[in-house]
Structure 1
Amino acid sequence: MTYREIIAAGAIAVLATAPQALASPAEINAIETLWQNPEDAGVLVSESFARAVPNAQLTALVDRLVKQTGPALAVTGDKGAYMIRTETHEIPVEISLDDDGRIQGLFFSPPEVLTEGPAATLAAFEALPGTVSYLVTSEDKTLFDRNADTPLAVASAFKLGVLKVLLGDIAAQNRNWQDVVTLQPEDKSLPSGRLQTFPDGSPVTLHTLATLMIAESDNTATDMLMRVLGADRVANALGLPSVLTTRQAFALKADPELAQEYAAASETEKPATAKKAAAGPLPAVSDVLGPMTTGVEWPLSNAKLCALMGEVATADVFSVNPGPVRAGDWKSVAFKGGSETGVLNLTAQLTGKDEGRVCLSVTINDAAAIDETKAAGLFTRLAHQLATSGK
């Protein structure tokens, strides 16, 4: 799961051409006009933008955001990065205009509820449907927690364990970032990611695999690393008896009979059942979109995820995607999340400009789909509050 996938239902990200440095008043006026009159989207955007994003789609998106958050009271910011403020929300927006002053690039981040402080933001998390757990620490001291030691399904956040094993091998000089791994047919998994579209035999460095795994949550990159490093070592890093590859998880989820067999198997039998499931053809994406399959996941606690983050957060692969965190609030951001229907995790280690370290980890499990846009907005709000409150 990547940040932009989390908010796909509530955001549009299109940069048709390189951003032009027009005066910020023109950008502010474009945002205000679009917010006040979403139906006028067609006259505000460039031809290239309209080809990429149909006017009806943009109008529907902005109309939904306005109904959710209310009229704009102010638009502040500069140089393409702005904040729409309503009575109840703040909505970060990035915009670029072409030489004619028309919108050529636009990206809305999740609306942030204007809660009064971290405790209020966490209370808003608790009010979401489902089982909610979280942990907030500063310099390893607990500030807030709710069931932080209880393992819940965390989807792709387990990839922090893969990174831990890889970094250990690099530090021990058993491997080098430049080492090349060849893509095998059995490595290929379902999205997120892009490597599943590469031809068999493609050579990929360990550094590229790690970057794709963290920044884009590339499942095929993850499975390639697990093949090279050993799934048993990843399981040990996670504190689990065994661990699924993403291909195995998809295969089990698409086959209810095998999934039941896997869930009922002993810990020593589970790996063989998982390998049997993954030996067949990849399932269709439509076959794995349903709610979480019990027992076919990666159960980790917030405490474990923060501990893992503490060991891997300095890796440069985190620099590509800061997730739902305002990167400018912090000296550095290390983010990894995970999601499937009924599962959401957001975990970040944040280093302040005073070098202080904060970890945030929130997990939600529910039988129904989770409002990921709302949860991501609350996470953004919480991180910003911690950056400005001095903890």
Structure 2
Amino acid sequence: MLNQSFKFAILGTLLSSAAFHPAAHAMSPQIDGAEIIAPQESGLELRAAQLSEVINGKVEAKDYFAQSFLNAISVAQIKILSEQLIAQYGAPQSSYIASKQNPQQALVNLEFENAIANVEMIIDPKNGDKIIGLLIKDVATKGDNIDKIKEDFSNLSGQYSYKVTLLDGHGDQYRDILSFNADDQFAIGSTFKLYILAELAAQVKEGKRKWSDIATINHPSFSSTATENWPKNAPVTLHTLASWMISLSDNGATDSLLHLLGREQVEKRVLKIGHSNPEIMLPFLSTVEAFGLKMSSNEKLRGEYLAANEMKQRQILNDNDDALTLDKFKAIEITGGPLFIDKIEWFASANDIVRLMEHLRLNGDDIVDDIMAINPGMSAGDSEKWQFVGYKGGSEPGVISQNYLLQSNSGKWFVVSGSWNDSEKEVEDSKFSALMFRLLNHVALLAEK
């Protein structure tokens, strides 16, 4: 439910950074008393060589990045991102230019203990050659293969699933390439918002609505990156609400769309798409309802809700619609680890996600495709391996889910889905994302065979 825009971009566009490396000041060699002048490193070469030392903390970020860069990504954020990279790939070993585009821009290889990252770097020659742009385009694990990927998945705590499916033809014609626990139901966090997108697309297709229709932000919610400072009932298009809901995982946009389209209509869409255990998704909660039911001060209400059958649960939600609102929500009451992720959530199996993605592919339109592609959930370099990348993920303490609809450059369609739940402790989002990126790289190689 929390905004994922980008926990999952940590390895991609968010880490626009490079590195600082102390200049070599060794004595120049001499022959017969004549000093040989060593070739001077260019500013770009120097900064490329320094990248590994910024990541490992031997060079301070404030000495390496231009202030314009640090205004966008703080020193503290760079430190956190560097620690995450080291946790995933081991200590940085070296960095060097792989290819130079011009005197200010190059593709740099950043070598870790267990992986090699391709990094696009831009310097400002007028500002001490400091870094003004850096983009991790791709990360390749050294000596990686599918058996190693499976083994590393197996080391996750709690429960996990993954599935890679080739979509053959039209309709229920699938070919499983890789699958583990694909029938099991998992908490999926904000991935559920794809069901709302599917219902909106259906209503547009049926002529009931247009993407350009004006709606209002009338159901604000917690963790809403796009809408949190907007006035209630501000007018926006359905296209905008849907874009915020999918690309930024905005909960206010999500709840506003859910109420506009109708809870029951979305539930019917869940059934029509073919969810394997639809009862577990009913009633289809709004985000603010889920947040509210998890609050410690709502223990009595939560107990009544969990003990009730579906019909009674709907009545409880209706009777308490004034209590389950953003103005009554207290974020401090849902901290401290996983909370009721097996009871108050949205659920789907990997097989359900495949059916959902295929439904969107076959029944959506160009706007649906565009919305799903705004945030690709992978680095720019990885995106370039595909003709189309549609993505939706979700997470909260104890839950992470990442799901991709992909078209290869040769025209083949794939769904890659993964989920990890642990009801006892928080899952490591960056660790799971790294596993999924490795799986995606494996699928990209298969796709072109």
Moved more, 60-69 or 119-128: 60-69
Equivalent residue, structure 2, for 1:287: 333
Corresponding residue to 1:97 among 112, 123, 128 = 123
Q: Check 1:286–1:277 CA distance in 2 against 1; reply closer, same or farther (3 A cut).
A: farther
CA distance in 1, matches of 2:398, 2:289: 19
Equivalent residue, structure 1, for 2:202: 168
**Residue 60 of structure 2 is aligned to residue 40 of structure 1:** yes
Corresponding residue to 2:250 among 179, 194, 218 = 218
Q: Which amino acid aligns with 1:223?
A: D
Deviation at 1:286, TM superposition (A): 2.6
CA distance in 2, matches of 1:57, 1:316: 30
Moved more, 29-38 or 335-344: 29-38
Q: Check 1:274–1:9 CA distance in 2 against 1; reply closer, same or farther (3 A cut).
A: farther
Deviation at 1:317, TM superposition (A): 0.3
Same amino acid, percent of matched pairs: 27
Q: Check 1:85–1:278 CA distance in 2 against 1; reply closer, same or farther (3 A cut).
A: farther
CA contact 2:49–2:94 (8 Å) conserved in 1: no
Moved more, 3-12 or 112-121: 3-12
CA contact 1:10–1:61 (8 Å) conserved in 2: no
Moved more, 56-65 or 217-226: 56-65
Q: Check 1:231–1:97 CA distance in 2 against 1; reply closer, same or farther (3 A cut).
A: farther
CA contact 2:119–2:138 (8 Å) conserved in 1: no
Kindly report which structure 2 residues correspond to 1:249-260, keeping only aligned pairs within 5 A, or say none.
249-254=290-295, 255-260=298-303
Is the partner of 2:411 in helix, strand or coil? coil
Q: Deviations over 1:104-125 (max 9, x none)?
A: 3445689764463234313312
CA distance in 2, matches of 1:319, 1:10: 15
CA distance in 1, matches of 2:224, 2:134: 22
Equivalent residue, structure 1, for 2:155: 127
CA distance in 2, matches of 1:224, 1:252: 19
CA distance in 2, matches of 1:221, 1:142: 34
Corresponding residue to 1:375 among 432, 436, 439 = 432
CA distance in 2, matches of 1:213, 1:6: 16
Equivalent residue, structure 1, for 2:369: 315
Deviation at 1:138, TM superposition (A): 1.3
CA contact 1:13–1:108 (8 Å) conserved in 2: yes
CA distance in 2, matches of 1:218, 1:109: 26
Equivalent residue, structure 1, for 2:365: none
Corresponding residue to 2:386 among 323, 330, 346 = 330
Equivalent residue, structure 1, for 2:285: 244
Deviation at 1:52, TM superposition (A): 5.1
Q: Check 1:181–1:54 CA distance in 2 against 1; reply closer, same or farther (3 A cut).
A: closer
Q: Which amino acid aligns with 1:270?
A: Q
Q: Which amino acid aligns with 2:410?
A: D
**Residue 78 of structure 2 is aligned to residue 69 of structure 1:** no
Equivalent residue, structure 1, for 2:110: 84
Equivalent residue, structure 2, for 1:261: 304
**Residue 78 of structure 2 is aligned to residue 58 of structure 1:** yes
Cα RMSD of the aligned pairs, angstroms, is: 2.9
Q: Check 1:188–1:94 CA distance in 2 against 1; reply closer, same or farther (3 A cut).
A: farther
Equivalent residue, structure 2, for 1:18: none
Q: Deviations over 1:154-186 (max 9, x none)?
A: 0100111001111111111211110010122xx
Is the partner of 1:145 in helix, strand or coil? strand
CA distance in 2, matches of 1:109, 1:263: 45
CA contact 2:117–2:136 (8 Å) conserved in 1: yes
Moved more, 105-114 or 218-227: 105-114
**Residue 375 of structure 2 is aligned to residue 354 of structure 1:** no
**Residue 413 of structure 2 is aligned to residue 387 of structure 1:** no
Give structure 1 stretches of 5+ with no counterpart.
16-21
Give structure 2 stretches of 5+ with no counterpart.
18-41, 168-173, 272-277, 362-367
User: Larger Cα Rg: Structure 1 or Structure 2?
Assistant: 2
Corresponding residue to 2:6 among 4, 7, 15 = 4
CA distance in 1, matches of 2:95, 2:346: 43
CA distance in 1, matches of 2:118, 2:332: 32
CA distance in 1, matches of 2:123, 2:83: 21
Q: Check 1:237–1:149 CA distance in 2 against 1; reply closer, same or farther (3 A cut).
A: farther
- The total of aligned residue pairs comes to 383
Q: Which amino acid aligns with 1:247?
A: V
CA distance in 1, matches of 2:117, 2:444: 18
Q: Deviations over 1:303-345 (max 9, x none)?
A: 1111111122462102211003511110010110110000111
Q: Deviations over 1:27-83 (max 9, x none)?
A: 633524424654332211112334555545534643564465123345546656655
CA distance in 2, matches of 1:386, 1:245: 34
CA distance in 2, matches of 1:83, 1:272: 59
CA contact 1:73–1:87 (8 Å) conserved in 2: no
